[in-house]
Amino acid sequence: MSQMMIQKKMSQIVDENNNLVSSMAQMSPAAATSQVRMTSQQSVQSQMLRSPSVQSLNRTSSQQSLAQGRSSQQSVGSRVGALGGHVTEDEDEGEEEFFQDVDILQNFGINVADIKKLKSVGLCTIKGVQMTTRRKMTQIKGFSEAKVDKIKEACTKISNDNSFLTAAQVAEKRKHVFKITTGSAELDKILGGGIESMAITEAFGEFRTGKTQLSHTLSITAQLPDESKGYSGGKVIYVDSENTFRPERLRPIAARFNLEDECALENVLYTRSFNSEHQMELLDMVAGLFHQEAGIFKLLIIDSAIALFRVDFSGRGELADRQQKLAQYMARLQRLSEEFNVAVFITNQMTSDPGATMSFQADPKKPVGGNIMAHASTTRISLRKGRAETRIAKIYDSPDMPEAEAMFAITNGGVTDAKD
Ligand SMILES: Nc1ncnc2c1ncn2[C@@H]1O[C@H](COP(=O)(O)OP(=O)(O)OP(=O)(O)O)[C@@H](O)[C@H]1O
Ligand SMILES: [Mg+2]
C-alpha cells in the first residue's frame, strides 16, 4: 500500500470513528437518559469500545496485534508472517469484494451527509442497507420515502443482485463460511466442526451448565488460525448482560492454546449491556466496528441474549411486546452475521414449563423465548450438568446436523473433552 493510500484510509477511519461517537450522542432521548444513569460504568465501557478503533487506525496494525498474539504459536509461523503487517493484496481484495462500503453510493448521486447518516445507524455496507426494510430506513432523521427509494435502487445496481442464485452459486458463497472450535473435539463433532459463521448458535441450559465458560473459551479459540481450513483467526466482541465476563479467565485458556495472553486479551472487545434497548443499540456500534476493521472480527458473543428482555417486559400483558422486540433483535443479529461473515454465539436461560406436568414431558424445562428464539437461532445446543466437571451438550435443532449428544468438561483451561 502506498503512503498516500494509507493516509487516505486513516483519515477515512478517523472520520468513521467520529461518526460512531456522534451516533452515540444522537441516541433517542430514552436511551440518552439511560446512558446518564450509567455514568461511570458507561464511560469506562464507551472508552473500551472506542479505544480499539483508535488503536487500530489502520488495518495493518490490528492484524499485527493478532499476529503477535500468536507469536508463540510456532506451528503457524508462516501464517504469522503473512498476517504481520504484510497483508497480501489478494487477501485485501477478497475482503473488499465481500464488504461493499456504502461510500460507493456517492457515485450514484447520494450525498455524503446521507451516507454519514446511514453509517451512524450501523448501515455501513451495501448488503446491510439491502437487508434493512424501507420502513425502518424512513425512520432515519431526514430520510424521506423518495430518498430511501433512491438509495435502495442504487444498492440494487451496485450489488448486481439477481435475488435468485443457483445452488452452485450458493455453494460458492458458502465457501466463506468458517467454523470456530469449541475447545472440545467431541462437541465440535456434533456441531459439524464448531460454531459456524453467517449463523446464530444458541446455547441454553440451567445455571452452571457452562454457557459462560463456553463463551470465554470461544473468545480465545476464535483467534486461532487454522491453516488446514483456510481460517485466519480474528477478533471477538463480547456483549455481557449479566456481568459474568472475567478477563482473568481468558489467561489460562489462552495459555492452553499457546497464545500470548496480553495480546489475546487485546483481541476481545468487551461491552456491558444494561437494558434491552441499550442491547439493541449496541448492535449499531457493533456494525460500525465490524465495518471499520473489515474481515478482522470473527465472533460476536451475547451472554445472555434474552435476560434483559425478560426484565424489561415482565408481565403477561407485555409478552407480545417482548417477543416482537426479541424478534427484531434476533433478526438484526442474523443480518450482522451474514453481512460481515461472523459467527454469532448467544446464550439463553431455561424456564419451567407450566404446561409440562400435564403432558408427561421428560424434561419439563425449556429455553426462554418461545417460537421466536426457536426460529431465529440457526443451531441450538442444550446443555446439562454431568458428573463433576463434565457437561452434556445436545444438538436441539440444526439445519444440517442430526440430534446427537456429546460430553465435554469445564477446566481451568476452558472447555475441553471429558476424560473417560
Ligand atoms: N477456572 C475454572 N476451572 C474449572 N471450572 C470452572 C472454572 N471457573 C468456573 N468453572 C465452572 O464452571 C461452572 C459455571 O459455568 P458457567 O458460569 O459457564 O455457567 P452458566 O451456564 O453460564 O450459568 P448461568 O446460567 O448462571 O449464567 C461452574 O460449575 C464452575 O465450577
Ligand atoms: Mg453465565
Residue by residue, DSSP assigns 279-330 as HHHHHHHHHHHHHHTTTTEEEEEEETSSHHHHHHS-SGGGHHHHHHHHHHHH
Measured in Å, residue 208 CA sits from the centre of ligand 1 at 5
| Closest-lying ligand 1 atom to the alpha carbon of residue 410 | 5
Nearest to 326 by CA among 340, 341, 346: 346
Per-position b or e across 163-201, b if 16+ CB within 10 A of its CB:
eeeeeeeeeeeeeeebbbbbbbebbbebbebbbbbbbbb
Note whether 196 and 230 are within 8 A (CB): no
The ligand minimizing its distance to the Cα of 203 is 1
pLDDT confidence of residue 233: 95
Note whether 265 and 246 are within 8 A (CB): no
Does the beta carbon of 414 lie inside 6 Å of ligand 1?
A: no
Q: Report how far residue 321's alpha carbon sits from residue 314's, in angstroms, rounded to the nearest whole number.
A: 10
pLDDT confidence of residue 260: 95
Instruction: Name the residue at shortest CA distance from atom 24 of ligand 1.
Output: 207
Residue by residue, DSSP assigns 269-284 as EEEE--SHHHHHHHHH
**DSSP label at 196?**
E
pLDDT confidence of residue 211: 97
pLDDT confidence of residue 70: 45
What parts of the chain have a pLDDT lower than 50?
A: 1-2, 4-6, 9-11, 13-65, 67-96
**pTM across the whole model:** 0.76
Q: How many residues does the chain have?
A: 420
| Closest-lying ligand 1 atom to the alpha carbon of residue 252 | 1
Measured in Å, residue 133 CA sits from the centre of ligand 2 at 34
Q: Which residues surround ligand 2, an ion (CB under 5 A)?
A: 211-212, 244
| Closest-lying ligand 1 atom to the alpha carbon of residue 411 | 4
Instruction: Name the residue at shortest CA distance from atom 11 of ligand 1.
Output: 410
Cell numbers that stand for 254 in this block: 489462552
The ligand minimizing its distance to the Cα of 383 is 1
Measured in Å, residue 211 CA sits from the centre of ligand 2 at 5
pLDDT confidence of residue 153: 93
Q: Report how far residue 317's alpha carbon sits from residue 371's, in angstroms, rounded to the nearest whole number.
A: 18
- Which residues are registered as beta bridge partners of 7? none
Does the beta carbon of 412 lie inside 6 Å of ligand 1?
A: yes
Does the beta carbon of 208 lie inside 6 Å of ligand 1?
A: yes
Instruction: Name the residue at shortest CA distance from atom 7 of ligand 1.
Output: 412
Question: Which residue has 483508535 as its cell numbers?
Answer: 54
Which conformational region is residue 90 in: left (phi greater than 0), alpha (psi within -120 to 50 degrees), or beta?
alpha
pLDDT confidence of residue 394: 95
pLDDT confidence of residue 27: 38
Q: Which domains does the chain have, with CATH numbers?
A: 3-159 (1.10.150.20), 172-417 (3.40.50.300)
